[in-house]
Amino acid sequence: ALCDQGLLGTTFDVVGVVDMATDADYFAYQMKYDSVHGKFKHTVTTKKSDANLAEADIIVVNGHEIKCIMATRNPEDLPWGKLGVEYVVESTGLFTEADKARGHIKAGAKKVIISAPGKGDLKTIVMGVNHTEYQASMDVVSNASCTTNCLAPVVHVLLKEGVGVEKGLMTTIHAYTATQKTVDGPSKKDWRGGRAAAVNIIPSTTGAAKAVGEVLPAVKGKLTGMAFRVPTPDVSVVDLTFLAEKDTSIKEIDTMLKNASTTYLKGILGFTDEELVSTDFVHDNRSSIYDSLATLQNNLPGEK
């Protein structure tokens, strides 16, 4: 169940979590201790029971009970109807195609939010940028990638304030992810992706720039991008190099983004003029933080 109390003040009643095992004690352990975010500051206990749905293992967070449900290759088999689930956050990375994600709907849920770029008949939504285009008839939506949620608010401001983007290249310096290897290992699809994540800078690909075109049609086909996976477990950087459609300056862009961060993108876009590094943004709940001290301008005579 979900109760909407405003754009950034949404309260969720979490009734179930899905994983490859239903061991509530392990769920509790994972919640209590995190290598990046530290110790969980709330009370976590468990209830052990039989494996059938009615008596599934339960994790209890601050007194709230959450059923631990066994994962399945077919979302239609999940007990969403029995649990009264309205919204499913699809974060496995396996069911990003709209038709596959709709298996959750067949299982009894009303809406599915994919936490990655989606494929097929669905809308890509980035909060603060195009969330007003959401319609109640949409049963499956994509919340895009983390990189898209970083880049899109900045591009949104450039368009909204009239600077425009004629063309651009996005490079993301991205923290390593769970799909990478701790030591060199097999990776037939992406040879470089099989190299040890914590000791290499690994060139990779990303569809984030293209996805921004789905969220902001005005830049569709104008942005491309690449990625580098680097040895850090959290916080990534998006470097956008672009040719503006009108004459502007760093001072003007700083002013636009700072104003947006305190008005129409407050809580989504941040602005910093301090000498910060990646770990300073761990726990930051904003989608994108603009670093004004890292912005450069390189115009030739007559260029925008």
Q: What is the CATH number of the domain that holds 97?
A: 3.40.50.720
Residue 67: C-alpha distances to residues 30, 51, 173 (Å): 15, 11, 37
Higher pLDDT, 300 or 173: 173
pLDDT tens by residue, 152-198: 999 999 999 999 999 999 999 999 999 899 999 999 889 999 999 99
Q: Give 278-283 contacts, CB < 8 A, sequence gap 24+.
A: 278/175, 278/232, 278/234, 278/235, 278/236, 278/237, 279/234, 279/235, 281/235, 282/36, 282/37, 282/234, 282/235, 283/37
Residues 116 and 142 sit within 8 Å (Cβ to Cβ): yes
Distance between CA atoms of residues 97 and 112, nearest Å: 11
Q: What is the pLDDT of residues 17-69, one digit of tens each?
A: 998 888 899 999 999 999 999 999 999 999 876 555 545 689 999 999 999 98
Looking at the fold, whether 67 and 79 belong to one and the same domain comes out as no
Angle at 259 between CA 257 and CA 261, to 5 degrees: 70
Domain membership flag for residue 49: yes
pLDDT of residue 160: 96
Question: Is residue 302, in this structure, part of any structural domain at all?
Answer: no
Same structural domain for residues 113 and 89? yes
| Model pTM above 0.75 | yes
Q: Would you list the DSSP string of 127-163?
A: TTTTGGG--TT--EEE---HHHHHHHHHHHHHHHTT-
Is residue 243, in this structure, part of any structural domain at all? yes
pLDDT of residue 302: 58
Helix (H) or strand (E) holding 170: strand 167-175
What residue numbers does the annotated binding site for D-glyceraldehyde 3-phosphate cover? 145-147, 177, 206-207, 229
CA distances from 74 to 86, 115, 225, 243, 301 (A): 18, 18, 33, 46, 59
The whole-angstrom separation of Cα 44 and Cα 304 is 56
Range of the domain at 95: 75-143
- Is 225 inside a domain boundary? yes
Which residues are known to be catalytic?
146
Tell me whether residue 106 is in a domain: yes
Q: Is position 24 within any domain?
A: yes
Whether residues 290 and 188 share a domain: the answer is: yes
